[in-house]
Amino acid sequence: MVKTTHNQTKKVKTRMAIYDTGLMIGHFEPLHLGQMRSILYAAGQAKKLHIVIMAHPSPHPDFAITLQDKARWLQMACADMPFIHIHTTHEIELPLHEHFADVSIDVTVSNAKLQRLMAALELPSKTVLFVADNHPLTQNSVQNQLLLQVVTTPLQREFDSYAIACDPVTHWSAIHPQARGNYTKTVAIVGGESSGKTTLVHKLANHYGASFALEMGRLYVGTDLGGKEVGLQYSDYGPISLNHAQAIRDAAAVATAPVTIVDTDFVTTQAFCEEYEGRHHPFVAACIDEFRLDHTIMLDNNTPWIDDGMRSLGTPEARGRFEQRLIDIFARHHIEPYLIDEPDYDARYQQALLFIDQHIYNHH
């Protein structure tokens, strides 16, 4: 047990922020733990810290990140710190917190843009600008020309913002948890009854340490229909799709890996609706288009059919018809699934690993 003297305690309690208002500007794409530590340091120096998020001049082509996405990450991360205020801007050439070797600084242009920004945010003239310790703006010759006083934050040497932005998958552990949902790719495992979907989902989730969303139709039968499909009707397919959309969103929000595995998809829900009800469901169709999954792996119906008490499409004719129905709905919605037709379960697993490694982890 470490004893704290009365004087030490008093010193901690009476410590005051040095500056009234601080400003930090960045791309935050993605928001990572190093940036968050810099924000926390700056917040300890200023009574109010204003963070301005800019659009990235060369965003990563594999991830569609908006200014609003980035605002949400920071807003959620700082939700319980009311002294931190989040803003977005479409301005460019503002002085960034971090130093990037290929970015030159035009002090005259920066001053004009800072002036506009401060007027828009109604910031006082004595606002200080926080930049990283290695920033060119810390040089006296440049600093004296800048509109704002410059204050440095310690370098976060283990976090390279440029490397993280270029390859978020490799630097997954550095990405802030609030941002990971936008950097994980969803992979749906689909197929007819008894094609080994659920077992494959759990194998893949275990292999990658990934979050996963379960098949909602099966859960819905258990929670709302008493465990048997005898009561299933047309009006159930909407709630099943809504539940599935929420399950996918929840799994991605707590993504533990660059891939998030999804057991079946909305196309499969639509196929069952058409099979059992003889008509397509417009709400399910809207879900297919609105909640697009990044990749779809389709398992061929060439494995042994096992009756688990909830399956009813066991004849070769019924299995073939359902598979064709899936293919037709995919085509209708311009989705191209990756077909795995290996009848051996382990071979299917190996083929799925190969696909995910190539398309998400970029291992060739």
* pLDDT on residue 267: 97
Q: Are strands 185-191 and 212-213 parallel, antiparallel or unpaired?
A: unpaired
Task: Classify residue 25 by its DSSP letter.
Answer: E
| Host domain of residue 46 | 17-171
Residues 258 and 134 in one domain: no
CA distances from 205 to 30, 106, 187, 190 (A): 24, 49, 11, 15
Residues 106 and 253 in one domain: no
Residues 164 and 193 in one domain: no
The answer to whether residue 325 sits within a structural domain is yes
Q: Which of 131, 150, 171 is the last residue of a domain?
A: 171
The answer to whether residue 5 sits within a structural domain is no
Residues 242 and 165 in one domain: no
> Which candidate, 170, 108, 98, 158, places its Cα nearest to that of 130?
98
* pLDDT on residue 5: 44
Write the DSSP string, 309-358.
Answer: SS----SHHHHHHHHHHHHHHHHHTT--PEEE--SSHHHHHHHHHHHHHH
Q: Which of 141, 171, 201 is the last residue of a domain?
A: 171
Residues 37 and 84 in one domain: yes
CB neighbours (10 Å) of residue 235? 9
Residues 199 and 342 in one domain: yes
Task: Classify residue 175 by its DSSP letter.
Answer: B
CB neighbours of 260 closer than 8 A, spacing ≥ 6?
Answer: 184, 185, 186, 187, 210, 211, 212, 213, 248, 251, 252
Q: Which of 140, 171, 202 is the last residue of a domain?
A: 171
Each of the 364 residues of the chain gets a pLDDT tens digit; together they read 444 444 444 444 445 679 999 999 999 999 999 999 999 999 999 999 999 999 998 899 999 999 999 999 999 999 999 999 999 999 888 899 998 776 677 888 889 999 999 999 999 999 999 999 998 888 876 767 888 999 999 999 999 999 999 999 999 999 999 999 999 999 999 987 777 889 999 999 999 999 999 988 888 988 898 988 889 999 999 999 999 999 999 999 999 999 999 999 999 999 999 999 999 999 999 999 999 999 999 998 876 555 554 445 556 677 788 889 999 999 999 999 999 988 889 999 999 999 999 999 987 6
The answer to whether residue 12 sits within a structural domain is no
The answer to whether residue 126 sits within a structural domain is yes
The answer to whether residue 288 sits within a structural domain is yes
Residues 143 and 222 in one domain: no
* pLDDT on residue 175: 98
CB 269 within 8 A of CB 240: yes
For the chain, the C-alpha Rg in angstroms (whole number) is 26
153-192 pLDDT per residue, tens:
999 999 999 999 999 999 999 999 999 999 999 999 998 7
* pLDDT on residue 304: 57
45-92 pLDDT per residue, tens:
999 999 999 999 889 999 999 999 999 999 999 999 999 999 999 988
* pLDDT on residue 149: 93
The answer to whether residue 343 sits within a structural domain is yes
* pLDDT on residue 54: 95
| CATH code of the domain covering residue 329 | 3.40.50.300
In the beta sheet, which residues pair with residue 339? 298
Gap between the Cα atoms of 330 and 340, Å rounded: 15
Residues 312 and 286 in one domain: yes
The answer to whether residue 277 sits within a structural domain is yes
* pLDDT on residue 233: 94
Number of domains observed in the structure of the chain: 2
| CATH code of the domain covering residue 109 | 3.40.50.620
* pLDDT on residue 8: 44
The answer to whether residue 144 sits within a structural domain is yes
Residues 194 and 318 in one domain: yes
* Helices 237-253 and 216-224: angle between axes, nearest 10 degrees: 120
